[in-house]
Amino acid sequence: MSTSKMKYALLKLNDQLEFVEMPATHMYQLGALNQRLHKELDKLTAPGAPVLPVFIAEFDGIEIVHPGYEVQHGLEYINALERSFAALLEQEKQYPLISLLTEIRALQAQLEQWYEEEEELA
């Protein structure tokens, strides 16, 4: 897979840094989704609401030299995000969580399709 097709997001949660690899065509959506989730997060009333990192920056290329960090696959990141919000469905009574899950799942489906197409081209 050519690296020019990929971008890298820097996410920060407290003092922890996360690096997420995304198709360049979908990086904007990750940033917009992150902003939307942050905007809505404090409206959730269910216990155990997900703690989300803040989207800090995006890069065209990345080389991680510190052994304590690694690049997370974009689809794995979105899958974990989806699981963390889906886990609240039974408990969340005040906020229409379905709309957030729909946005997460839309990006999830687009990424699944993107990676499938990349595999077919390889």
Q: Across residues 67-84, what is the average pLDDT?
A: 95
d(CA 7, CA 24): 5
| Region of poorest pLDDT, from 40-49, 51-60, 80-89, 100-109 | 40-49
Query: Given this model, what pLDDT does residue 47 score?
Result: 84
Work out the pLDDT band at 92, boundaries 50, 70, 90. confident
Q: Structure pTM? A: 0.90
| Phi and psi at residue 12, to the nearest 5° | -130, 130
Q: Cα-atom radius of gyration of the chain, to the nearest Å?
A: 15
14: left (phi over 0), alpha (psi -120 to 50) or beta: left
Mean of pLDDT values over 25-47: 92
Q: How many CB atoms lie within 10 A of CB 11?
A: 19
Q: What confidence tens digit (pLDDT) does each residue in 48-61 have? A: 888 999 999 999 99
Q: Which of 55-59, 91-95, 99-103, 114-118 is predicted with the least confidence, judged by mean pLDDT?
A: 91-95
- CA diameter of the chain: 46
